[in-house]
Structure 1
Amino acid sequence: MNNQDIFIKANKALAEGNYVEFITYCTEDIKWENVGGKTFNGKAELYKYISSAYDGITFTTENHIKEDNFVVELGRIVFEKNGESKRSSYCDVWNFKAGMISQVTSFVI
């Protein structure tokens, strides 16, 4: 399986709320950086974050670009909370190492 295939499977698991499956695609020392916000290190910390923060979030990948060990994802995200919706755009840069996701840098505006 190449990096693009892993990205597609992992991203699908994340979008469907299957966080346990998503984590299986990550290295033990995964780093997830929300630019302008918090950074999460390691599978346990990342799992705790996504399993709580991704509740009420819907995202749609509009395009992705693969180059060497990177996949750049562009899309739209909707945050639902207390009956209110907030729409944003995002760009995630996924870095792969030995066939696993080793880092995600996320920009949401």
Structure 2
Amino acid sequence: MSNAAILHEANEFVKKGKYENFLAYCTEDTTWVFIGDRILSGKMEVLNYMKEFYWEPPVFTVDTTVGKDNFVIVTGQITLKSKDGADTHYDYCDVWKFENGKIAGVKAYVIEKKDNLSF
């Protein structure tokens, strides 16, 4: 299975709110860098982040997927629901790194949409 296929399979668990199942696709020391915001190190920090920010499973679409060697680049949109029930919409570009068929990390460029502007 290609790294892109592994990523898309893993993300199906995120869509269902099954974050622990998603993390089975990650290395123990996975590192997630949200550019300009935060860095998460290890599965536990990623799980805690998901539980804190994904009050409901995120709704996301994938526009583009490009796989090359140990990297998969994905672009799309994601909507997160806040504690008070408000939806916030974002565009994203994620650069996923793989090691031995597992997600070793991601650099996520996430930008909040203003006034429903989109490319």
TM-score (structure 2 length as normaliser): 0.84
Whether contact under 8 Å (2:54, 2:81) holds in the other structure is no
Shift, 1:78, TM fit: 1.5
Q: RMSD of the alignment, in Å? A: 1.3
The alignment of Structure 1 onto Structure 2 pairs a total of residues equal to: 109
Moved more, 77-86 or 66-75: 77-86
Structure 1 counterpart of 2:39: 39
- Identical aligned pairs, as a percentage? 37
Q: Aligned with 1:55: secondary structure? A: coil
- Which of these residues, 80, 99, 102, is aligned with residue 100 of structure 1? 102
* Cα distance between partner residues in 1 of 2:109 and 2:51: 19
TM-score under structure 1 normalisation? 0.91
Query: Cα offset for 1:52?
Result: 2.2
Pairing of 1:57-72 with structure 2 (within 5 A): 57-72=58-73
Q: Aligned partner of 2:108: which letter? A: S
Output the CA distance in 1 between the equivalents of 2:43 and 2:94.
Answer: 18
How much does 1:2 deviate?
Answer: 2.4
The structure in which a higher percent of residues are strand is: 1
Runs of 4+ in structure 1 deviating by more than 6 angstroms, as ranges, are none
The Cα offsets for residues 46-101 of structure 1, whole Å up to 9 and x where unpaired, read as 11111221224322112211111111110111222324322220111110011110
1:102 and 1:71 map into 2 onto residues whose CA distance is: 11
In structure 2, the gaps of 5 or more residues are 112-119
